[in-house]
Chain A
Amino acid sequence: MTVKTLSELLECNCIAGHGGLERPVTGGYIGDFLSWVMGRAEENSAWITVMGNINAVAVALLADVSCIILCDSAPLDEDARLRAEENDIPVLTSSQTAFALALSLGRALGRC
């Protein structure tokens, strides 16, 4: 599945990094501590978090996650938005909780 398809299924808004919408999504990870994400998230994961800062974008880029999903309507910093644009890291937002999004993601991936 692509990030674009996932974004539609989860009814998210893509607010940055549209250039990366065709990236594949094969899994997911939830967390806000950046080192946990780097240590545990598999590549091509959709990363669900409230961490909308520039460092989160750097982590997404370096750890090859396919997109950042900001849950609970968490905001994206302006410098983070610019960095995401520059590097084609899709940032999706949703008013849903991490749990609700993970359930939908699991269903979309045929895991539950």
Chain B
Amino acid sequence: MSNKSSVEPITQQYVIPGTDFTRAGEASSKVKTILKRLGYDPDAIRRVAIAMYEGEINMVIHAHGGTAKVEIFPDRVEIALCDQGPGISDVSKAMEEGYSTAPDEVRALGFGAGMGLPNMKKCSDDMRVHSIIGKGTDVYMTIRVRGTGN
């Protein structure tokens, strides 16, 4: 474990543009492609892709965009999503399945089911949300690679 953690990660940084739903998902797709090329476990890749896409979408819908930093280690992927949006007043409530403040026009696109944060939690092995009203939200997720036999 300790020697694994000391391995230099492959680091990727992305800017997620605000209010552009058609471009949301580009960063997650790129990360997915990289992980596939590196031969990561498909289940881990899928969890990274879903968790990151939900996070991207949240920054587009709720926070006028933000940044994503992805660190790829041999045994895990760490994702940091940071925005300077309005923040979340009650994080535990936001984590509840079905809780959503998304407007109707966003729901018409298929988002806003209030399942994004719960999905991110389910896909990751560790997730932390730091949010300050008026300042922004940071979400940190760690997805461990299982089933590699090492």
Contact = CB atoms under 8 A, between A and B. Distances in A.
A33 B115 contact: yes
A86 B122 CA distance: 29
Interface stretch (B3-11, B25-33, B80-88, B139-147): B25-33
Contacts of A79: 22
Contact of B111 (A34, A43, A64): A34
A79 B29 CA distance: 16
B126 to A, nearest CB: 18
Prevailing SS type, chain B contact patch: helix
A35 B119 contact: yes
B39 interface: no
Interface stretch (B49-57, B69-77, B130-138): B49-57
Contacts of A62: 25, 28-29, 32, 46, 49-50, 53
Given A58-B24, A61-B29, A79-B22, A38 B110 contact: no
Nearest to B122: A39
Contact of B119 (A38, A51, A55): A38
A61 B24 CA distance: 13
Contacts of B113: 33-36
Given A55-B25, A61-B29, A62-B28, A38 B54 contact: yes
Contacts of A87: 29
Nearest to A56: B110
6 contacts: A35-B54, A35-B119, A36-B115, A39-B122, A58-B25, A58-B29
Q: What are the 5 A-B residue pairs with the smallest beta carbon separation, nearest first?
A: A35-B115, A58-B25, A33-B113, A62-B49, A34-B110
